Structure 1
């Protein structure tokens, strides 16, 4: 839903353009931060170049903003207004595609990834609507894939889905992501080939979560090992499970949820039953075999007329802390992650588009640039929404993208 004029102009900080000075890239990812990640990754130039590394980081992010444009056109958009700003050197010419590609190869993916990991932090403040359940920040994990250019190197690194005549037309880069539900900001990501399992990739996200978060995931990501790994971070979890997951009922709770055990894989039915008996009797349960959870079961008739049962398990075992109804409502905020990934794949990259870089390192570099571009726009939208008391979910991402594209073009973000 687009922002109405009354909301967009409510207060001096409510307009998108109030938050842009010399381009959203400069404002969000300052020169000092770029120099920090270049130093940390060892990618500072040994000699002066026409396309220095800090310029190329901004260029890679701009590729995410202008995915449909040619490489040299992206550069023209970045520098097109420098003459009016008095920053143009008459001896400087827009580099050709080959020079840009060589500069991207020198940069590599590491500094862009390091910039994302350094800069992409949760955005929601205490008053951000839709971002919290009590004192806990709502987060979600999910996975998706991106088509990449069909080159031998990309096929070798990322692989195709299927095989033989049923193989996918393009190699696919697989991404597991952690998003803040209230802002749609992606704040963690792990990249891999399409034959790397979602759970394997998602395990790398544990370093991005911690206490104070309520992390949600769908049934496809559940495994005892992954649930245990995320719980060990100190974050609270609300994960959906499928019918094949064995749950040992222990006792009912006043809000209609119940205490239960989930089990490590490979245990016999008799062993699971003995563990449930031990837990009911108050005896210690070996964490390598089982763990206590609380189970919430519910249906959503208006969304699912067939009445399929939704079962979620949570580490929040006290119903007085978060009642079952509130947990069920919170779980459906997990869909905000899918909206965030759709913004990246459809609005930024373009529907049906591919990551056109020809080598695996540049594919990964391009994907990190996409994530940074999305993060910058989402940060901008939240900064406009919060002072007006507006829910960031209802801010139009497409409208924000258009504003940022205009500002990057009109207020060049780099000096050659």
Structure 2
């Protein structure tokens, strides 16, 4: 069997081709994978080794084995058979393109969902599921297919890579990214976030940073969802009623004219506070929160201030994905590696599904140990999953369940200390380079016509 042949793979473990990652089926069932392929019309009809049924699992594995090129990902997924050659890289890339991104998008919608229950420690506030919206940017390869995303710019000109802007809905208590949208560097977060509103759970307490607020958004959301949003200190309010906890009722308007004429105002509750510790970021600045939780006795101001700061859990989600799940490496200088538009979309959804698998296992482990999932290390859990996946024996259900129970127990032991009372100054430290920036004109240079020796000209 050669690397590019069309013969089927021999499957020896209950029909599984990629038998070294069978453990993923405990979180992503084969039935849902098949449904995603059916829903998108991607079932394989041709005789081929690398069917779409095989390739969707390869792409899912790419979201976990992010340090490996695609051919090595395949090797990590299938046990060694003497005399069987692995598919060539070109065959795998073509098969990945044939699969496309639609099945990954469909699978994400079938699999990824909020998992917290009212018994999940730290996931609810007074019966409301804590959900956050925030955004991040990801570097994409500097190729022609990604130039439409645009680049960041500053005093030294444009950034080195096209950048993808991603906005995510996260269940803060479990760190599960259950919905996201993306666009280019120049796409506004305020505009992108509108595509996420249909995914907000009915029982959510939606927590947003001040960059997402607008009157239009508040008007559309406040009657259906409970909101807790930081707002700019420059906004003008006319207090209607002060409460003993320091908060007050006021109205928010579309513009100054509407406020002066008291038209189209929406009743809100405003909480203003300062920080008196000089070591903390935002010391002595006015911080403002706005909410439609109007009752100060049922929802005290100090509780809401503390709950707003749970929004930082979403920043940790982005750290988990960018720093630990898919860290920078010498051979991969960008967050994403796909050099086609559809491949990049496929990669984003595979990464999110891989993150969900780890987080679902961590939640299972935390529930069994009766601890807050925040006390478990994402990095440690991620490495345990990758290490233990090849050990899974799916030959019968008893061994399969024993493997899963052992992995969950091992993750439950991967505990970290309670979070320190720490500070994080908003600073960066990057080395300036004396070299010119790499730009598209530097790619695809014409072949040299002379050898090095032929170019040498003696001065004397």
State the TM bucket, normalised to the shorter chain: 0.7 to 0.9
- Residue in 1 that maps onto 2:52: 53
Given the alignment of the two structures, is residue 293 of structure 1 paired with residue 285 of structure 2, yes or no?
no
Whether the 8 Å contact between 2:44 and 2:53 is mirrored in structure 1 is: no
Q: Distance in 2 between matches of 1:404 and 1:317?
A: 45
Greater radius of gyration (CA): 2
Shift of 1:191: 1.4
Q: How many Å apart are 1:413 and its aligned residue?
A: 8.8
Q: Is the 8 A contact 1:192 1:201 kept in 2?
A: yes
Q: CA deviation at 1:242?
A: 0.8
Task: Describe the shift of the 1:22–1:165 C-alpha distance in structure 2 as closer, same or farther (beyond 3 A).
Answer: closer
Once residues 107 and 314 of structure 1 are traced to their aligned partners in structure 2, the CA distance between those partners, rounded to angstroms, is 45
1:204 corresponds to? 195
Cα displacement (A) at 1:337? 0.3
CA RMSD of aligned residues (A): 2.2
User: Which residue is 1:227 aligned to?
Assistant: 218
CA contact (8 A) 1:31 1:54 kept: no
Work out whether residues 21 and 390 of structure 2, in 8 Å CA contact, stay in contact via their aligned partners in 1: no
User: What's the TM-score once normalised by structure 2's chain length?
Assistant: 0.76
More helix per residue:
1
Structure 1 residues 23 and 328, CA gap change in structure 2 (3 angstroms): farther
- Residue 140 (structure 1) aligns with: 132
Over 3 Å counting, the alpha-carbon distance change for 1:236 and 1:24 in structure 2 is farther
State yes or no: 1:243 paired with 2:243.
no
Residues 230 and 59 from structure 1, CA distance in 2 versus in 1: closer, same or farther, beyond 3 angstroms?
Answer: farther
**1:59-138 superposed matches below 5 A:** 59-79=58-78, 81=79, 92-138=84-130
Per-residue deviation at 1:354? Answer: 2.6
Task: Determine if the alignment matches structure 1 residue 315 to structure 2 residue 292.
Answer: yes
Q: Does 1:255 align with 2:255?
A: no
More displaced 10-residue stretch of structure 1: 104-113 or 138-147: 104-113
Q: Closer, same or farther in 2 for the Cα pair 1:193/1:412, shift >3 Å?
A: farther
Q: What SS is found at the alignment partner of 2:181?
A: strand
* In structure 2, C-alpha distance between the alignment counterparts of 1:54 and 1:146, rounded to whole Å: 29
Shift of 1:249: 2.1
Q: 2:172 aligns with which of 156, 181, 188?
A: 181
From the superposition, tell whether residues 22 and 56 of structure 1 become closer, same or farther in structure 2 (CA, over 3 Å).
closer
1:273 maps to which of 248, 256, 260: 260
Gap regions ≥5 residues in structure 1: 1-20, 276-284
Q: Separation in 1 of the partners of 2:23 and 2:274?
A: 43
2:24 aligns to what? 25
Residue pair 1:64, 1:366 contacting (<8 A) in 2 also: yes
Pairs aligned (count): 370
Q: Using the alignment, how far apart are the partners of 2:87 and 2:343 within structure 1?
A: 18
Larger relative CO (CA 8 A, sep 6+): 1 or 2?
1
Which residue pairs with 2:377 in the alignment? Answer: 396
Q: Secondary structure at the match of 1:373?
A: helix
Q: What are structure 2's unaligned runs of at least 5 residues? A: 1-19, 396-460
Aligned pair partner of 1:170 in 145, 161, 166 = 161
Name the CA distance, whole Å, in 2 between partners of 1:219 and 1:197: 14
Change (3 A) 1:291 1:389: same
Q: Is the 8 A contact 1:211 1:236 kept in 2?
A: no
Pairing 1:151–2:128 present: no
